[in-house]
Amino acid sequence: MKTSINTASTQGVDPNSPPPEGSGSVGPRIPGPVVTSRPPSLLGDLREIFLEQVEYRDLLLTMTQRDLLLRYKQTFMGFAWAVFMPLVNTFIFSVIFTRVATLDTGGVPYPVFAYCGLVVWNYFVSALKFSATSLTSNANLVTKVYFPREIFPLSAVLVSLFDLAVGATLLVPVMLWYKISVTSAILFLPVVLIVHTLFTIAMALLLAMGNLVYLDVKYLFEIVLAVWMLGTSVVYPVDLIGGWLGMLFMFNPLTPIIDAYRSVLLRGELPAAGPFALASVCAVFLLVVSWLAFHRSEFKFAENV
C-alpha cells in the first residue's frame, strides 16, 4: 500500500497568504496566540520554594557535612574552637565588668550571663560570615548545575548551629557551678531557637545575595557586626543605656531573642511576651521577603560569579 505524503508541509508556506480556491476558507490565516511569561505569584513562589527544599533535602545534608568537615580541617583544636572562643571572651569581659565597672545583671552571675550571650552571638556571627562567601566560593556549582542556590547559605547556618550545640555543652557545668537550677521554662527553649534561626537564615540569604553582586559587602558587614554587638545585650543589658541611643537599641530584634535565652535558661521564666513576639514577627517577615528576593534573583547569579 502506498502512503500519500502532503508535500505542502515540506514547502515554505506564508501563514498570511490567502488559501487556495475551493478550500472553503475566507480571508488570511490568523496566527496563533502569543505565549507570555506568567507574572510572579507570592503563593506560587512560596510553594515552589518549599517543594524545592523538600526535593533537595539530601543535597542540603551532604553540603552541610562537607562544610562541617572543611571548617575544622587541619586545625589542632577542631570542634573545641566553638567552646574556646566564647570562653576566652567571657574571661575578658568578666574581668572588665566585675573588676573595673560592676554591672547589674538581674541577679545572674556575670560569667554565666556573658557566656550565654556570647555563645548565642557567635552562632549568629559565624553563620553570616560563612554565608557571605557561600555563593562566590562555590562558583563552579552555581554556574554549571541547577539546584536551589539557597542550599549554600542554609548549609552555613546549619554548620554554625552545630557550633552552637558544642558551645552550649559548657554552659551546663557553668550553671551547676553557680547553682542555677533548670525549671519548666526550658521547654520554651526550642521556640527561642527557631525564632533565632529564622532571623539568621533571613540575614544569611540577604548577605549571600548582596556579596555576590558587590564583593565589598562582606568587608562592610564586618564593621556592621562590630557595631551591632555593641547595640545588643551580649555582654551587658542594653536597658542600662538611656536616652535616644537606648531607645534605638530597643528596636534591635536580637536583643529580645538573646534575653529570651537567658530568661528560660538562667532565670527560669518565660521571656517578655511583647518584645519577643515583636522579634518573632520581624524574623518571619524578613525571612519571607529575603527568601522571595533570593529565589526570584537566583537565575542571574551565574552572571555575577
Q: Which class for 130: exposed (0-12), middle (13-18), buried (19 or more C-beta within 10 A)?
A: buried
pLDDT of residue 305: 60
Please report the pLDDT score of residue 92 as a whole number.
86
Average pLDDT over residues 5-17: 43
pLDDT exceeds cutoff 80 at 301: no
- pLDDT higher than threshold 70 for residue 208: yes
Residue for cell digits 542594653? 238
Higher pLDDT pick, 293 / 246: 293
DSSP E strands in 201-273: the ranges are none
The pLDDT of residue 144 is 76
Q: How many CB atoms lie within 10 A of CB 219?
A: 10
Which are the contacts of 293, defined by CB distance < 8 A and separation ≥ 6? 205, 206, 209
238 has pLDDT over 90? no
Residues 6 or more apart in contact with residue 107 via CB below 8 angstroms:
267
pLDDT digits (tens, 9 = 90+) for 78-98: 667 778 888 888 888 888 877
pLDDT tens, residue by residue, 176-203 = 999 998 899 999 999 999 999 999 999 9
| C-alpha distance from residue 291 to each of 25, 53, 205, 236 (Å) | 53, 12, 7, 32
Q: What is the mean pLDDT of the chain?
A: 81
| pLDDT, tens only, 126-141 | 999 999 888 888 777 7
For residue 42, what are the CA distances in angstroms to 13, 37, 47, 48, 148?
43, 15, 9, 10, 17
Which pLDDT score, from 0 to 100, does residue 154 have? 93
Nearest to 260 by CA among 235, 285, 279: 279
Q: How many other CB atoms are found less than 10 A from the CB of residue 135? A: 21
What pLDDT sits at residue 112? Answer: 93
Please measure the distance between the N-terminal and C-terminal CA atoms of the chain and give it in whole angstroms: 61
Q: Taking residues 145-171, report their average pLDDT.
A: 89
pLDDT grade for 295, boundaries at 50, 70 and 90:
confident
Residue matched to cell numbers 543589658? 237
Please report the pLDDT score of residue 249 as a whole number. 81
Write the DSSP symbol of residue 2: P
Query: Taking phi first (over 0 means left), then psi (-120 to 50 degrees means alpha), and beta for anything else, what does residue 78 get?
Result: left
The tens digit of pLDDT for each residue in 35-49 reads 344 456 777 778 887
pTM as predicted: 0.80
